[in-house]
Chains A and B, each alone.
Chain A
Amino acid sequence: MPSFETIIGLEVHAQLQTKSKMFCGCSTRFGSAPNTQVCPVCLGLPGALPVVNVKAVEAAVKMGLATGCTVARRSVFARKNYFYPDCPKNYQISQYEHPLCSNGFLHVEGGEKRIGITRVHLEEDAGKLIHLEGDDHSYADMNRVGVPLIEIVSEPDIRSPRQAASYMQKLRTIVRYLEICDGNMEEGSLRCDVNVSLRKKGSDKFGTKTEVKNLNSFKAVEQALEFEIERQARLLGEGRKIQQDTLLWDSVKGESQIMRSKEEAHDYRYFPEPDLLVLDIPESLIQRVDTEIPELPDAKLDRFVSDLGLPKYDAEVLTSSREIAGYFEATAKELGDAKAVSNWVMGEVLRELKDKKIDISQFKILPRQLAALIAEVQSGGINMPTAKDVFRDMAGTGNEAKDIIEKKGLKQISDEGALDAVVVSVLDNYPQEVAKYLAGKDKLLKFLVGQVMKETRGKAHPQKATDLLKEALEKRRGS
């Protein structure tokens, strides 16, 4: 295969978390009975006029500021015309020539790769169509019509499917930090279309691009791009031309199919929306929104590395969610040992959340309680395996580590006299193993340590038990 360079750009739609729709007062609640959140404005009834939702404007400005965009003090809504049963007005109100935000960027791959953001603009969502097998009709639910969206258009800066998925992940993290979108890809709150083209390595001209739609997971983004890159490379390799097609990804079949060709491409006939005046953004709004932006993932990551001394990998995992980062930080503050807390949060805590399919707000162990548990380990009160049992107990009951340890008698046995007695009895009980060890089978030490742990119901201080065992074994070697 000749060497091609891949050029990828993403168009991401994020549903904004407002209570009411973009241009009318209808509720945006997800999952209501069909056609129960509709009014003359979103149904496009004659005479109805749109009025812009201030919360949606603020959310778009927030996203613009968070991604280094220039926020236009004056932007213009436009009509995008098309006929489709999910769109009762026969046009979507969007922004075209004069978007609200433009010229931003974000970083992926640990800050190594910068991806430009062409624009972030406001628009409204379309309705939902349901198609039933064997039914010659489709069914339209207009509850989603008019729900506010931002469209985030990237520059063609992305060079691999992996990078595209990372970019998408970063966008999701940012909208969630900003609390403007819940980022739920399964429910369609965050959706993605990709544009992809190939060009000969070293060339500076773009090849013909195709668009792939309907990507509702990070995996779909990556797989659909891999599929499309391979398809284009094969065509180009055979000396054929790429057609400017729109394709639809089928995640079940793992392939995309051509949805429409260039000849059938939509002619949207954009023009300025006559029902709305220009959107003026006062400086005061921009300033206010700016103060509402929390510390963003990149800044948090840098601080976790430089101030708390965490490895970059830990900082990346912890900052991928604002809530997890907050939980970690609160616990680290209590304990004063960031790395120990990071190990627990990245290991036990995240595993527990995943197993129970809950988020950190539903997690029963408070930062203060986790810090106390880790402190028990660090002071030698309990050993690590016991601590993990106590952790599981706490996660189920919300009880304090101290109480669980006391109630269940889990305190670590570090007392040499007590441990010595156990060591002697283990050596007496396993004379064959002892003999083999003394004959050079070092591995049997582990077995013997295991027996000591068993005898003490897991409470022996592992290092002390090992030391005492070795000592006792050496003594037997002499006799």
Chain B
Amino acid sequence: MKIDARTITHLEKLARIELTAQERERLSEQLDRIVGYVEQLQEVDTTDVSPTSAVTHQAHTQLRADEPRKGLERDAILSQAPDAKDGYFRVPKVIER
């Protein structure tokens, strides 16, 4: 699979970033190499290997009791936000959803 200009543009959109022409070129080369490496891995016969979804299938996730705990102070959090007002995070107007 070749990482072409269209794929790069799509990835830019998904990641909400804007690249320069040089960055696009450099990234498509790098991504090409990464995808090439994965394609190489795909040559391995995995017929009898079940897919891995976690680092280890030996361990399983621990469960937590349903006990509420105090979180962070609102003023402390909002002071770290780019913009806040009246106890809310303030963001550019969105209408979708």
Chain A contacts to B: CB under 8 angstroms = 18-20, 24-28, 33-40, 42-43, 51-57, 74, 76-77, 81, 83-86, 97-98, 129-131, 135-142, 213, 259-260, 267, 269, 272, 274, 276-280
Contacts and interface: CB of A to CB of B under 8 A. Distances in A.
A53 B66 contact: yes
Given A38-B72, A267-B14, A138 B66 contact: no
A141 to B, nearest CB: 6
B14 A52 contact: no
A230 B88 CA distance: 41
Chain A residues touching B, majority SS? loop
Chain B residues touching A, majority SS? loop
B61 interface: yes
Contact of B57 (A24, A28, A136, A278): A278
Contacts of A25: 64, 67-69, 71
Interface size class of B (residues with CB under 8 A): 35 or more
B47 interface: no
Interface string B44-82: 000000000111110111111111110110100110000
Q: Quick one: which of B55, B63, B95 has the most chain A CB within 10 A?
A: B63
A140 B66 contact: no
Contacts of B60: 74, 277-280
Contact of B61 (A42, A52, A139): A52
Contact of B54 (A37, A53, A97, A277): A277
Contacts of A34: 74, 86-88
A310 to B, nearest CB: 38
B92 A138 contact: yes
Nearest to A280: B60
Contacts of B72: 38-40, 43
Contacts of A274: 54-55
B89 to A, nearest CB: 4
Interface string B7-22: 0001000101000000
A259 B96 contact: yes
A20 B92 CA distance: 30
Contacts of A142: 89
Nearest to A51: B64
Contacts of B87: 33-36, 141
A19 B89 contact: no
20 contacts: A20-B67, A20-B69, A25-B64, A34-B87, A36-B74, A38-B72, A84-B96, A85-B94, A97-B53, A98-B53, A130-B88, A131-B95, A135-B93, A137-B91, A139-B86, A142-B89, A274-B54, A277-B54, A278-B57, A279-B61
A74 B52 CA distance: 13
Task: Sort A-B residue pairs by CB-CB distance and give the 3 closest, nearest first.
Answer: A25-B69, A39-B71, A55-B66
A26 B90 contact: no
